[in-house]
Structure 1
Amino acid sequence: MDTDTRTHAADLEAIRAVVATVERSQQRKDPDEFLTLFHPDAVWTTAHGKVLIGIEAISAFTRTVLPAADWAGQVTYEVAHVLFIRPDVAAVKVRQRYPAPEEESEGAPLYVMSRGDDGRWLLTAGQNTQVVAG
């Protein structure tokens, strides 16, 4: 295995770890853990179209909405596809599921992640989209 292949594999694993942390923080309704994943200048759009620019706006929204969320912790996030735009920038397609007694709902987030100077992958831009059956 050459160095590029090892680096690529390590980056994929790090990206999957970020998505796993998104899942865990959402399941626990933990805004503090969730907010550690963001680039300070991130742009985030919710599934219902609310645009949040910068960590302050993302934080204010998250601290209000996440603890009050109506799911009981069963939400899951699965990396569906990763496209490296550059070695330090990736588009990450995620499958998000919220089980419900009457009907499961699903989201289709797209995260743009960037690797910082410290080597950490961070959420830099995100667009969530609610999946509508039919």
Structure 2
Amino acid sequence: MNTESTAYAADIEAIGQVVAAVEHSQQHKNPDEFLALFHRDAVWTTAGGKVLIGLDAISEFTRKVLPAADWDGKVTYDVVHVFFIRPDVAAVKVRQLYLTPGEESEGAPLYVMSKQGDGRWLLTACQNTGVVTD
């Protein structure tokens, strides 16, 4: 993909907006906002290793876990790297920081995102991984 093109820049921006929406949905513990970011056939693996296949399974898990999460909403998500596998498929490495008083933890999610016919980028295959510090 030509990194000089306006289409490339627009896709990078759109992918960044999806990651920002993930951050916002997590900060506000909003399952509906989070779930709207997924392809209906998505695969999600949680940081704990639970594999969720399809939006129904992701929804059931998210609606139970996200509102009950024990952090106070201080979490950030930053795009670290984007690799376009094809013009409509991107591997997106994210840095996730949970900032709770007296404790900070980090995650290293990988989001495979796909561009839909209407131009929207959706989470399609995702792995959330905790970072172990020495």
Please say whether Structure 1 and Structure 2 have the same fold, judged by a TM-score greater than 0.5. Answer: yes
1:103 Cα deviation (Å)?
A: 2.1
More helix by share: 1
TM-score, normalised via structure 2 length:
0.96
Task: Check conservation: 2:107, 2:129, Cα contact below 8 A.
Answer: yes
Flag structure 2 segments of 5+ consecutive residues without an equivalent.
none
TM-score, normalised via structure 1 length:
0.96
Count of residue correspondences: 132
Provide the secondary structure at the position in 1 that maps to 2:9: helix
Q: CA RMSD in A?
A: 1.1
| Equivalence for 1:60 | 60
1:73 Cα deviation (Å)?
A: 1.0
Q: List structure 1 runs of 4+ shifted beyond 4 angstroms.
A: none
Equivalent residue letter for 2:76? T
Q: Distance in 2 between matches of 1:117 and 1:6?
A: 18
Equivalent residue letter for 2:37? L
Q: Distance in 2 between matches of 1:103 and 1:55?
A: 32
| Equivalence for 2:5 | 5
State how 1:1-134 maps to structure 2 within 5 Å: 5-134=5-134
Q: Distance in 1 between matches of 2:103 and 2:33?
A: 28
Flag structure 1 segments of 5+ consecutive residues without an equivalent.
none
Q: Percent identity?
A: 73
